[in-house]
Chain A
Amino acid sequence: MIEFNDYKSEIENQWCPGCPNFGILTALKRALVSLGKEPHQVCLVSGIGQAAKLPHYLRCNLFNGLHGRAIPAAIGIHVANPTLTTIVTTGEGDCYGEGGNHFLHALRRNPDITVIVHNNEIYALTKGQGSPTTPRGEKTRLQFTGVEAAQAQMLSTAIIYECAFVARGFAGNMNHLSELFVSAIAHRGLSLVEVIQPCIIYGTRLVSWYRERVELLPADYDRRDRTAALETALAQGNRIPIGVLYEGPPRPLFAERYRKRMGEQPLAELPLIRQKTIAARLAPWNRNQ
């Protein structure tokens, strides 16, 4: 039996005391336990940022790569070893800013990975510059007169790009978040969970601002209705709905064709190609042998 403590990491945590990131960490551990995953079956992949340090704080395999490049690394890992549960933990700067192009194309590809975006609407590790999701007009430590660009709406972008699992969670509602993670990880194909994670140091709004506005999607919400989901994702009212915004019919998986041909084992375990196979291909050119 897998227990919560199996995921306990001995590494010193560098997050600020009281950071909502702790809620995300606990929710993820709980989700992995409830899915019965063992640490060696899980691979956490991240880029750089405060959020991207999460893999060090959860005992499992980890690849902590470059800023913005968690998704391509995760795609490579997933293709090389599909038996792993591959999860990206990333900040919105990492994922939508530096890695924006990879994010878009990952949605198109639909690899069977989970992407958890810690959305604190700020670049925290670099101490307070605007991020793609900082609301327009907010003053930051670089945009002194206010952010001029529009706020990125990546959940709606994901729905448009046919992502078949799009959810929003709140770091302050751990039980609900943990359930979202369970569904996201169980989903076959790319699943996206954007988590509201207010930054208690550089955030332009207080945690309470978010807490007052967050509300669960209504019980009769039809998560299979793509158009309604898009409307919900785009809504700019005073309420911030959390839950699974959209769950679509299964789409073809990335590398599916290759895997049908080669089986599900790790690429490292496939036998070496035979010399005969190479020789056969050289034969038409080897007129003398």
Chain B
Amino acid sequence: MLDLNIVIAGAAGEGIQTIGDVLTRSILELGYSVFTWTEYESRIRGGKSSYRIRVSEKMSNAPRHDADLLLVLNEQAREHYAGLLNKTGVTLAETGEDLQTVAVPFRSIAVEQCKSKLYANLVAAGALCMILQIEFSVLKQVLTRRFAAKGEEVVRLNLVAARAGYAAVQSVPHTQQLALETRDRAYSFLSAHAVIPLAAAYAGCRFITAYPMSPATGIITAFARDEELGVFVEQAEDEIAAINMAIGASYAGARAMIATSGGGFALMVEGVSLAGMTETPLVILIGQRPGPATGLPTRTAQEDLLFAIHAGHGEFPKAVLAPSDPQDAFAKTVRAFQLAAKYQIPVILLTDQYLADSYFSYDKFESENQPLTAHIADPQAISDYKRYRLTADGVSPRLYPGQSKHLVCADSDEHDEGGHITEDLAHMRPAMVQKRLTKRKQLQQAIALPAEIHLLDAETVLIGWGSTRGAIEEAVSQLRAKGTAMGAIHFTEIWPLPDYVFAGDKQYISVEGNATGQLSYLLAAEYGIHFSGTVRRSDGLPITADYIKKEIDDRV
């Protein structure tokens, strides 16, 4: 079964993105499943960055670090990434004499053929296609489509460069191993942060405010670019304004969301509490990156789980969902809006840089979803309206101001049923505390149980959450293939934790993209389970199956 990992490495500004995109598109055309992820530094030019393309005959949506084919665009990249190359791998570089290297002088070919070094990346893309034995016509079609908007001359020059690169590869070591053929398959190919805005629009989102911050900036940008979605977009002066604007809009009846990363969310926290107190629905996306403080702006982490769960002073219900992949991100985004509206609470969607920037392949991508309910009451059916009317399930009928003659009063102070400040400690305060607790109980019963992977006969169980699902599943299946009784439990609806029973006769190992084991801390506290081991990664790179296996081996 073919499973090939291609690494394209170079500096920011050298056109890695174009090479990666063009090659990915070409390989998708052939009918392979493709999974890509990127890692890069927080700068505009220079440094070291890479684009990883995993090609397989069946859906393999998980990252690999090693390289079967490595393109290095400069010497610094060669030094930094050479260690990734597998024993039988091939390097494509400007120079090199050894048997494992294909040398193509990208820059001089570009200057010679196109009168500009700027086309060196296309020369490299052409050479990569030759090494992978992709017909030039496939590449030509992809390039023509990609550059069409820039005019005929640009298309022509790009084709000239790519063809020159293609022709420059004379012979390839280990050719067979790298040869791709045309297959009769086609996959959906999507990223989480590309589908989340669409899912939000589908769920009725009409209002987004944000202050730019990686890796969440793409969310608001997508709405701004696509005016036909009809979502109001505003770049706020800071994250505090962003959340308060969104809460105002939601109070006034609009489905609203905000998007940020951990540092921006830190500024928003007072607003989370405000949404809890005023019982205003709100969806908050946190694209995690490593902290503390500014941390590593362009890298990945799962460091903000406990922060998200505990965010906000005082006691109030909120939900925290952590999608595992783009398909799940679509469903969870719609669900976030639904939960927020139904229970009139803030709902947090936890993604991360890895999930934001990676593209996954699917046999079929599901964008139909659960039926949508507005959860806004009919003013005609109400005679004496009180925004915080005490009810059996803690949820009060919601109207918005201006909807009818009923007045809608929302208050951040402790309030009475009518939404006015109260200091009635004997009756009203306890009743409102109870109201919020009752909503929490209702919400908790709605939370989905974690996914169970080969759990029945498992003796050792990996437990993870969010974007590590692909790596965990892959590690489990590889270890099972070797005869280990391995299984996994994976959480995507994390807070409030559902009523779940952990079997007592298994060994549990937590797998998390942080240094302290935040989920394991939570599970130990809530369910009293004991962890016999941990796999933790906090260097800013995504967890892979190899990483999990190595960590387990090192310990056993």
Residues of A within 8 A of B (CB): 11, 14, 38-41, 43, 45, 48, 53, 55-56, 59-66, 69, 72-81, 83-84, 101-102, 104-105, 255, 258, 261-262, 266-270, 272-273, 275, 277-279, 281-282, 285-289
Query: Known: A267-B206, A288-B363. Contact between A61 and B407, CB under 8 A?
Result: yes
Give the residues in chain B near A277, CB-CB below 8 Å.
201, 228-229
Residues of B within 8 A of A (CB): 28, 185-190, 194-195, 198, 201-202, 204, 206-207, 209, 226-230, 232, 234, 236-238, 240-242, 244-256, 270-271, 274, 278, 363-365, 367-368, 372, 374, 376, 400-413, 419-421
Q: Is the pair B186, A40 in contact by a Cβ cutoff of 8 Å?
A: no
Q: Is the pair B400, A285 in contact by a Cβ cutoff of 8 Å?
A: no
Q: Is the pair A80, B406 in contact by a Cβ cutoff of 8 Å?
A: no
Q: Is the pair B409, A65 in contact by a Cβ cutoff of 8 Å?
A: no
Q: Is the pair A53, B407 in contact by a Cβ cutoff of 8 Å?
A: no
B428 CB to nearest A CB, Å: 13
Cβ-closest 5 pairs across A and B: A76-B248, A268-B253, A61-B401, A80-B252, A73-B248
Q: Is the pair B250, A76 in contact by a Cβ cutoff of 8 Å?
A: yes
Give the residues in chain A near B204, CB-CB below 8 Å.
272-273
Across the interface, A287 reaches (CB within 8 A) one of B189, B201, B236, B400, namely B189
Q: Is the pair B248, A77 in contact by a Cβ cutoff of 8 Å?
A: yes
A54 CB to nearest B CB, Å: 12
Q: Is the pair B420, A63 in contact by a Cβ cutoff of 8 Å?
A: no
Distance between Cα atoms of A83 and B400 in the complex (Å): 12
Q: Is the pair A287, B187 in contact by a Cβ cutoff of 8 Å?
A: yes
Distance between Cα atoms of A277 and B231 in the complex (Å): 13
Q: Is the pair B372, A272 in contact by a Cβ cutoff of 8 Å?
A: yes
Q: Is the pair A64, B407 in contact by a Cβ cutoff of 8 Å?
A: no
Give the residues in chain B near A266, CB-CB below 8 Å.
252-254, 400, 402-403
Distance between Cα atoms of A288 and B198 in the complex (Å): 19
B401 CB to nearest A CB, Å: 4
Query: Known: A40-B402, A79-B207, A81-B400. Contact between A281 and B251, CB under 8 A?
Result: no
Give the residues in chain A near B245, CB-CB below 8 Å.
72-73, 75-76, 79
Across the interface, B202 reaches (CB within 8 A) one of A270, A273, A287, namely A273
Give the residues in chain B near A289, CB-CB below 8 Å.
188, 364-365
Distance between Cα atoms of A285 and B365 in the complex (Å): 9
Distance between Cα atoms of A73 and B241 in the complex (Å): 8
Give the residues in chain B near A279, CB-CB below 8 Å.
367
Distance between Cα atoms of A166 and B555 in the complex (Å): 70
Q: Is the pair A84, B401 in contact by a Cβ cutoff of 8 Å?
A: yes
Give the residues in chain B near A65, CB-CB below 8 Å.
244, 247-248, 274, 278, 412
Distance between Cα atoms of A15 and B253 in the complex (Å): 31
Across the interface, B402 reaches (CB within 8 A) one of A11, A43, A278, namely A43
Distance between Cα atoms of A226 and B372 in the complex (Å): 52
A30 CB to nearest B CB, Å: 20
Query: Known: A102-B237, A282-B365. Contact between A80 and B229, CB under 8 A?
Result: no
Q: Is the pair B188, A73 in contact by a Cβ cutoff of 8 Å?
A: no
26 inter-chain pairs at a CB distance below 8 angstroms, sorted by A residue, are: A41-B402, A43-B402, A45-B248, A63-B410, A64-B411, A64-B413, A65-B247, A69-B240, A72-B242, A76-B256, A79-B207, A262-B230, A267-B206, A268-B374, A272-B204, A272-B372, A273-B204, A273-B229, A275-B202, A281-B226, A287-B28, A287-B186, A287-B187, A288-B186, A289-B188, A289-B365
Across the interface, B190 reaches (CB within 8 A) one of A43, A56, A285, namely A285
Main secondary structure, interface of A, reads helix
Q: Is the pair B401, A73 in contact by a Cβ cutoff of 8 Å?
A: no
Contacts A61-B402, A65-B412, A273-B201 aside, 11 further interface pairs with beta carbons under 8 A come to A64-B409, A69-B244, A69-B274, A81-B252, A101-B240, A262-B230, A277-B228, A281-B198, A282-B188, A285-B189, A288-B186
B73 CB to nearest A CB, Å: 27
Q: Is the pair A40, B228 in contact by a Cβ cutoff of 8 Å?
A: no
Query: Known: A80-B252, A285-B190. Contact between A105 and B237, CB under 8 A?
Result: yes
Give the residues in chain A near B209, CB-CB below 8 Å.
76
Distance between Cα atoms of A266 and B400 in the complex (Å): 10
Give the residues in chain B near A72, CB-CB below 8 Å.
236, 240-242, 244-245, 248
Give the residues in chain B near A268, CB-CB below 8 Å.
206, 252-254, 374, 376, 400, 403
Distance between Cα atoms of A159 and B368 in the complex (Å): 51
Give the residues in chain B near A14, CB-CB below 8 Å.
421
Give the residues in chain A near B238, CB-CB below 8 Å.
101
B254 CB to nearest A CB, Å: 4
Q: Is the pair B229, A288 in contact by a Cβ cutoff of 8 Å?
A: no
Give the residues in chain B near A84, CB-CB below 8 Å.
252, 401-402
| Chain A residue nearest to B400 in the complex (CB) | A268
B358 CB to nearest A CB, Å: 14
Distance between Cα atoms of A75 and B242 in the complex (Å): 10
Distance between Cα atoms of A97 and B8 in the complex (Å): 51
Q: Is the pair A11, B420 in contact by a Cβ cutoff of 8 Å?
A: yes
Distance between Cα atoms of A287 and B187 in the complex (Å): 6
Question: Which of B187, B237, B419 lies at the interface centre, i.e. has the most chain A CB atoms within 10 A of its CB?
Answer: B237
Give the residues in chain A near B188, CB-CB below 8 Å.
282, 285-289
Query: Known: A80-B254, A81-B253, A289-B188. Contact between A56 and B403, CB under 8 A?
Result: no
Distance between Cα atoms of A273 and B406 in the complex (Å): 28
Distance between Cα atoms of A112 and B198 in the complex (Å): 30
| Chain A residue nearest to B194 in the complex (CB) | A285
Distance between Cα atoms of A262 and B206 in the complex (Å): 11
Q: Is the pair B412, A77 in contact by a Cβ cutoff of 8 Å?
A: no
Q: Is the pair A80, B198 in contact by a Cβ cutoff of 8 Å?
A: no
| Chain A residue nearest to B191 in the complex (CB) | A285
Query: Known: A80-B252, A289-B364. Contact between A61 and B236, CB under 8 A?
Result: no
| Chain B residue nearest to A282 in the complex (CB) | B367
Give the residues in chain B near A80, CB-CB below 8 Å.
206-207, 248-254, 256, 400
Q: Is the pair B411, A66 in contact by a Cβ cutoff of 8 Å?
A: no
| Chain B residue nearest to A38 in the complex (CB) | B405
Question: Which of A75, A255, A261 lies at the interface centre, i.e. has the most chain B CB atoms within 10 A of its CB?
Answer: A75
Give the residues in chain B near A261, CB-CB below 8 Å.
227, 230
Distance between Cα atoms of A14 and B28 in the complex (Å): 68
Q: Is the pair A66, B256 in contact by a Cβ cutoff of 8 Å?
A: no
Give the residues in chain B near A77, CB-CB below 8 Å.
248-249, 251-252, 401
Give the residues in chain B near A76, CB-CB below 8 Å.
207, 209, 244-252, 254, 256
Distance between Cα atoms of A48 and B270 in the complex (Å): 13
Across the interface, A63 reaches (CB within 8 A) one of B227, B229, B248, namely B248
Distance between Cα atoms of A72 and B248 in the complex (Å): 7
Give the residues in chain A near B189, CB-CB below 8 Å.
285, 287
B208 CB to nearest A CB, Å: 11
Give the residues in chain B near A60, CB-CB below 8 Å.
407
A148 CB to nearest B CB, Å: 27
Q: Is the pair A59, B407 in contact by a Cβ cutoff of 8 Å?
A: yes
A260 CB to nearest B CB, Å: 11
Question: Which of A105, A268, A269, A289 lies at the interface centre, i.e. has the most chain B CB atoms within 10 A of its CB?
Answer: A268
Q: Is the pair A61, B408 in contact by a Cβ cutoff of 8 Å?
A: yes
